[in-house]
């Protein structure tokens, strides 16, 4: 209001001089000034709102446009459920409660796909008790004789080579979903080299006592289901994905049915 142009008063004053000095004339002058002030304020507010929307690019508007035009739910094909209710595993500390409903869709950029499909897998396990490493990335998530890989007991890990760098948005793991099991000390990491020396980043860790030697984890234990465990990778860029486990509530062995890595080539 303190920037109202002086010309507004100038025109009001000139109009007043041309009208008689009667009370009616004074009222006309006041009315002209009020209308002018109202028009100025309306113009000022209009300019301000235009700058805020088009000039400042508020985060809310940008995020809404991005979510609408660039993000879509990824298509995760789930295997047949083997159970719908208990019995649940023995008491496990720091255990997630059952969600009781389907997992909500996970959104990622258009073109995101399972980039682990058919990719090579290696392991710390010196031998395989059952199965073959190729089963972990063959796309078969059903429970069957030719779908489950069984590794040696205690702490073991597998490494998936995506062969080129990818922006990774989600990782989904199926250890063994024939029964309610909880696998211990699950740690998921990504890195730039197969030895996990360069640019190692931890995406998930529920090792509550640091028995794997990778630090105390803050994530929760979870029960295996046909949905698998989805880990949000937030678009991290990496070539290698490594997954640790350390036995389960049924035995000391480590199992993998399938691991899917959803991403897009960084190249």
Q: How confident is the model over 38-70, as pLDDT tens digits?
A: 554 444 333 333 222 223 222 322 223 334 449
Which class in CATH covers the domain with range 79-265? mainly beta
Neighbours of 256 (CB within 10 A): 26
Phi-psi region of 15 (alpha: psi -120 to 50; beta: other; left: phi over 0): alpha
Q: pTM above 0.85?
A: no
Which pLDDT band holds residue 147 (cuts at 50, 70, 90)? confident
Q: Which residue(s) pair with 123 in the sheet?
A: 158
Concatenated DSSP letters for 180-202?
---BSS-EEEEESSTTS-SS-EE
CB 181 within 8 A of CB 92: no
For residue 62, report the phi and psi dihedrals to the nearest 5 degrees.
-60, -45
The pLDDT of 207-233, averaged and rounded, is: 96
For residue 198, report the phi and psi dihedrals to the nearest 5 degrees.
-100, 125
Q: How confident is the model over 166-186, as pLDDT tens digits?
A: 999 999 999 999 988 999 999
The pLDDT of 24-34, averaged and rounded, is: 46
Residue 161 has pLDDT above 70, yes or no: yes
Residue 112 has pLDDT above 70, yes or no: yes
Residue 120 has pLDDT above 60, yes or no: yes
Residue 91 has pLDDT above 90, yes or no: no
Taking the CA atoms of the chain, what radius of gyration do you get in angstroms? 32
Which pLDDT band holds residue 4 (cuts at 50, 70, 90)? very low
3-state secondary structure of 85: coil
Residue 10 has pLDDT above 50, yes or no: no
Distance in angstroms (rounded) separating the CA atoms of residues 133 and 154 = 18
Percentage of the chain exceeding pLDDT 70? 72
pLDDT of residue 145: 74
CB 148 within 8 A of CB 130: yes
Kindly list the distances between the CA atom of residue 104 and the CA atoms of 70, 110, 233, in Å, as whole numbers in the listed order: 18, 18, 16
Distance in angstroms (rounded) separating the CA atoms of residues 224 and 179 = 7
Higher-confidence residue: 221 or 12? 221
Which pLDDT band holds residue 144 (cuts at 50, 70, 90)? confident
Q: Which residue(s) pair with 238 in the sheet?
A: 166
Residue 106 has pLDDT above 90, yes or no: yes
Q: How many residues does the chain have?
A: 267
b/e per residue, 163-194, with b = 16+ CB within 10 A? eeebbbbbbbbbbbbeebbbbbbbbbbbbeee
Distance in angstroms (rounded) separating the CA atoms of residues 69 and 66 = 5
The pLDDT of 109-135, averaged and rounded, is: 96
Residue 263 has pLDDT above 80, yes or no: yes
Q: How confident is the model over 65-89, as pLDDT tens digits?
A: 334 449 999 999 999 998 777 767 6
Distance in angstroms (rounded) separating the CA atoms of residues 48 and 72 = 34
């Amino acid at each position: 209001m303190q920037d109202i142009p002086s010309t507004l008063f100038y025109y009001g004053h000139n109009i007043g001089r041309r009208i008689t000095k009667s009370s009616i004339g004074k009222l006309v002058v006041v009315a002209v000034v009020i209308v002018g002030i109202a028009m100025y304020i309306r113009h000022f507010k209009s300019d301000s709102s235009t700058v805020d929307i088009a000039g400042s690019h508020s985060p809310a508007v940008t995020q809404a446009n991005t979510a609408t035009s660039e993000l879509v739910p990824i298509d995760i094909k789930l295997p047949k459920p083997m159970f719908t209710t208990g019995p649940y595993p023995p008491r496990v500390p720091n255990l997630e409660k059952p969600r009781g409903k389907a997992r909500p869709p996970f959104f990622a950029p258009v073109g995101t796909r399972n980039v682990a499909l058919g990719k090579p897998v290696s392991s710390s396990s010196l031998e395989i008790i059952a199965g073959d490493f190729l089963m972990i990335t063959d796309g078969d998530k059903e429970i069957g004789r030719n779908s489950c890989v069984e590794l040696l007991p205690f702490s073991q890990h597998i490494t998936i080579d995506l062969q080129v760098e990818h922006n990774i948005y989600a990782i989904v793991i199926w250890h063994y979903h024939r029964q309610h099991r909880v696998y211990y000390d699950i740690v998921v990491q990504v890195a730039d080299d197969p030895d996990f020396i360069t640019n190692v980043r931890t995406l998930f860790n529920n090792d509550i006592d640091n028995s794997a030697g990778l630090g105390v984890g803050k994530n929760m234990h979870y029960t295996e289901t046909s949905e698998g465990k989805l880990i949000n990778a937030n678009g991290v860029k990496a070539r290698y994905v490594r997954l640790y486990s350390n036995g389960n509530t049924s035995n000391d062995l480590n199992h993998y049915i399938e691991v899917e890595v959803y991403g897009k080539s960084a190249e």
